[in-house]
Amino acid sequence: MVPRAPNSPVPLDICHLAKAIEAVGDRWTLLILRSSLFGVRRFDDYQKELGIPRTVLSGRLSKLVAAGVMAKQSYKEDGKRARPEYVLTDAGEALRPVLMALTQWGDDWLSEGAAPPISFTHSKSRQNVRSAFVDEDGRETKMSEMRISLRR
């Protein structure tokens, strides 16, 4: 068993948050996911958009595929050889609210007063949408109203 800090009740090797951070928590991986959510699918497009070294990009994409966050598919342009593209799996799509929450955090704490460059809006009402925690009955729950409980 992995040792834990005095205030951490869950060992790292069984903590799902720690596992999620291991799967998607570094800078390049999060930027790849960001680009994927905006529709980027091809290696060269990721490389051009992010300015990421090719070896780093290859490693991160392989890690995302191995983690089940992305799937590697083949595409072929006329007169060219088949090449891979990377699409989000259901697990990757499920990261949308996580990235939305990170975007909101950046808007709230890192914007230095600048207007957010993107917004999230409801497709029908056109009202701005923010991520929030809700209880099982659908009521919004503030952080101050929550507690972390261990399941035994």
Q: What are the tens digits of pLDDT across the range 75-121?
A: 988 999 999 999 999 999 999 999 999 999 999 999 998 988 888 89
| Domains of the chain in sequence order | 12-145 (1.10.10.10)
Q: Does 4 score more than 60 pLDDT?
A: no
In this prediction, residue 149 carries a pLDDT of 80
Two tokens, residue 150: 């261990």
Query: For residue 8, what pLDDT band results from cuts at 50, 70 and 90?
Result: confident
In this prediction, residue 121 carries a pLDDT of 92
What are φ and ψ of residue 115, in 5° steps? -65, 145
How many whole angstroms separate alpha carbon 62 and alpha carbon 47? 14
User: pLDDT digit string (tens) for 25-61?
Assistant: 999 999 999 999 999 999 999 999 999 999 999 999 9
CA distances from residue 128 to 18, 28, 81, 102, 114 in whole angstroms, order as listed: 31, 28, 44, 16, 17
Could you please report the per-residue DSSP string of 99-139?
HHHHHHHHHHHTSTTPPPS---B-TTT--B----EE-TTS-
Going by C-alpha positions, the residue among 50, 33, 29, 133 that lies closest to residue 87 is 33
How many whole angstroms separate alpha carbon 96 and alpha carbon 20? 14
Query: For residue 5, what pLDDT band results from cuts at 50, 70 and 90?
Result: low
Which has more pLDDT, 69 or 149? 69
Q: Are 44 and 15 in contact (CB under 8 A)?
A: no
3-state secondary structure 13-54: HHCHHHHHHHHHCCHHHHHHHHHHHCCCCEHHHHHHHHCCCH
Residue pointed to by tokens 């460059």: 117
